[in-house]
Amino acid sequence: MLKRYLLAPGPTPVPPEALLAMAMPIIHHRSPDFLPVLDSAKKGLQWLYQTKNDVLIICSTGTGGMVGSVNNFFSPGDKALVINAGNFGERWTKICKAYNLSVEEIKIDWGYSVKPEEVEKALKKDPSIKGVFVQASETSTGVYHDIKAIAGIVKKYENTILVVDAISALVAHDLRMDEWGIDVLIGGSQKGLMLPPGLAFIGVSEKAWTFAEKSTAPKFYFNFKAERKKLKDNQTNFTSPVTLIIGLNESLKLLQAEGLENAFRRHEKLAHATREAVRALGLEMFTKESPSCSVTAINAPAGIDGQEIYKNLRVKYGITAAGGQGQAKGRIFRIAHLGYAGTFDVITAIAGVEMVLKGMGHPVKLGTGVAVAQELLIV
């Protein structure tokens, strides 16, 4: 038997409290049993999103939340400004194009974050841009974009809304939907929220709802106005993923007991320890600036394939981390510290990396990175 450790940037481990709750018999989504369950999830999500706005719950993966945010707030021909700094930025472009939006990209080299001035420049040049699309944490490169600054810019433009894919950032990063003026904020269940895949969450500002009124793009399953109406009665438009929503309440309960600030601080600390430990091993970050608190992207040492590090971690030691995506495939590997993550997840990951590298013939003094992480994580 090989004991397994899940240290990927989604899916992430699910705490036993949520697993147990999800083992209970199914309840009916239109019965009075379920209404308080959804009511509680709805309120918990507003707490997490730091918002008074509606936070819709959709049965889909995170990408469904992205797709719905394109076909519900925009129309064919609308101009979209996409910040493309990695694999998930590229996904925004693909979705917008699939719905016949006219896409302009701010293309960023992988490993770097967008300069908010570039967003300002693009909007000044073309105020008819309807939507700015960005990731909070670009999971493929381990970069965090400055959402606060970008929101401050977009909110000055009456005809433009900001759509943020925060699927891998929520819970790890402070994202103040109302205070900063984020219009659409998208989350997913299998990342910071410590649940199985299957739920997308979409926070929607009043400004964004006015865009929904004008949208002519086709909508049926992802119909946010219909979802909003149902949500008022603690229902979803179609059959609710009752099991996942029961689990969601358990995850939210754990996070509420910890407190939002503490959750952010925990992720920051784990991310910092991971980066410093890896540097102590003589490895370089793939992320050149503004590192995300959810995932650390690391360059494979010269002559070693990043996918082989990922594979050896999994096959030899039972650690499922992540390799590279797109143009970074083979060049990097990634370690997540997201959601149900603590001190010994980092220690495990670093110890595993040391053992894998040594096993692959790379000169490593065992314990070097682990010692650095231990120092930084002593309480």
Shortest Å, Cβ 188 to ligand PLP: 5
What is d(CA 312, CA 108) in angstroms, rounded to the nearest whole number? 31
Rg of the chain, C-alpha, whole Å: 21
β-strands 54-59, 199-204: how paired?
antiparallel
Residue 9 DSSP code: S
352 binds ligand PLP (CB under 6 A): no
For residue 10, the minimal CB distance to ligand PLP (Å) is 5
Q: Which residues pair with 200 in a beta bridge?
A: 58, 188
Sketch the per residue contact string, 49 through 78, with ligand PLP: x for CB under 6 A, - otherwise: ------------xxx---------------
Select 10 or 247, whichever has its Cβ closest to ligand PLP: 10
Residue 138: enclosing H or E segment and its boundaries?
A: strand 137-138
- For residues 203 and 369, which CB has a smaller minimum distance to ligand PLP in the complex? 203
Residue number, 168 or 240, with CB nearest to ligand PLP: 168
Q: Which of residues 77-106 bind ligand PLP (CB under 6 A)?
A: 88
**Three-state DSSP class for 2?**
coil
- Fill in the per-residue mask, 148 to 167: x = in contact with ligand PLP (CB under 6 A), - = not in contact: -----------------x-x
- Maximum CA pair distance of the chain? 62
Number of Cβ within 10 Å of residue 240's Cβ equals 22
Q: Report the residue number, 236 or 325, with the smaller CB distance to ligand PLP.
A: 325
Does residue 144 touch ligand PLP according to CB under 6 A? Answer: no
Of 199 and 351, nearer to ligand PLP (C-beta) is 199
Residues between 196 and 255 with contacts to ligand PLP, criterion CB under 6 A: 197
Q: Give the dihedral of Cα atoms 321, 323, 326, 332; nearest 10 deg.
A: 120
Least distance between ligand PLP and beta carbon 142 (Å)? 11
Pick the closer one to ligand PLP by CB: 10 or 339: 10
Applying CB under 6 A, which of residues 71, 135, 215, 312 lies at the interface with ligand PLP?
135
Contacts of 348 (CB under 8 A, 6+ apart): 5, 7, 319
Q: Do the beta carbons of residue 206 and residue 325 sit within 8 Å?
A: no
User: Hey, what amino acid is at 118?
Assistant: E
Asked if 139 touches ligand PLP (CB under 6 A), the answer is yes
Task: Identify the CA nearest to 96 among candidates 136, 125, 115, 69.
Answer: 69
Tell me the closest approach of the beta carbon of residue 295 to ligand PLP, in angstroms.
Answer: 8
Minimum Å gap between C-beta 63 and ligand PLP is: 3
| For ligand PLP, the closer CB: 93 or 168 | 168
3-state secondary structure of 77: coil
> Of 78 and 165, which CB lies nearer to ligand PLP in the complex structure?
165
Peptide bond before residue 11 is cis, with ω within 30 degrees of 0: yes
168 binds ligand PLP (CB under 6 A): yes
Q: Are 126 and 95 in contact (CB under 8 A)?
A: no
> Using CB under 6 A, which residues numbered 4 to 23 contact ligand PLP?
9-10
Q: Which residues bind ligand PLP (CB under 6 A)?
A: 9-10, 61-63, 88, 135, 139, 165, 167-168, 188, 197
